[in-house]
Amino acid sequence: MKLLRNLFCTATVALICLTLARAELQVGDPLPVLAGLATAGVDVPATSGQVVLLDFWASWCAPCKAAFPVLAGLHRDFQGQGLLILAVSVDEKPAAYTGFVNRLAPPFVTLHDWQQNLVRAVKVPAMPTSYLFGRDGRLRHIHKGFHGRATADELRRQIEALLKENPGI
């Protein structure tokens, strides 16, 4: 009996540890807390009831640079319908972040996770990675990497579908 109890306890602890050590954000998870990411006076906008595209990028990442014009087009086309794009830099050096943003001048919100607190909490698997959240605040789609027109078309279709959904809040 004592052996069974010990095995049960060990199995329970192992299951809890596996749950806590998930590799990354998964579909169905809530939007992570974004407080504390304000950059140069830009506060994190309210996300409630919005379709949120949370994009992690770095200045040294060529696919990230290629993705920014696509994100700008999505912002232009869907901002008025409830799309909020939050692009989070994981650059450790503020100058790298600032230089990238100044060169590309994105029309959407960019934030700097210079201490990499959010990128560690989310366990972002690759640069870039985009997380698309529905109006209900739940993760609906994950895009690892940027693959040109294929990623752009898929994001557009998914955003259009999410914008049509009732927020349910």
Residue 15 lies in a domain: no
Residue 10 lies in a domain: no
Residue 68 lies in a domain: yes
Residue 18 lies in a domain: no
Residue 69 lies in a domain: yes
- The overall longest dimension of the chain from CA atoms, in Å, is 68
Residue 9 lies in a domain: no
- Please tell me the total number of residues recorded for the chain in this structure: 169
Structure tokens at 39: 């950059």
Q: What CATH code is carried by the domain that includes residue 112?
A: 3.40.30.10
Contact 126, 103 (CB under 8 A): no
Burial label, 70 (beta-carbon count in 10 A; 0-12, 13-18, 19+): middle
Give mean pLDDT, residues 56-84.
97
Give mean pLDDT, residues 26-42.
78
CA-CA-CA-CA torsion for 149, 153, 155, 158, nearest 10 degrees?
Answer: -160
Residue 3 lies in a domain: no
| Structure confidence by residue, pLDDT tens digits, 107-146 | 999 999 888 888 888 999 999 999 999 999 999 999 999 9
Instruction: Compute the distance between CA of residue 94 and CA of residue 37 in angstroms, rounded to an integer.
Output: 13
- Tally the domains of the chain: 1
Count CB neighbours of 136 within 10 A.
17
pLDDT of residue 166: 78
Mean pLDDT (the chain, rounded): 84
Question: For residue 83, what are the domain limits?
Answer: 24-164
Contact 123, 22 (CB under 8 A): yes
Contact 82, 163 (CB under 8 A): yes
Structure tokens at 26: 């998964």
Residue 99 lies in a domain: yes
pLDDT beyond 90 at 151: yes
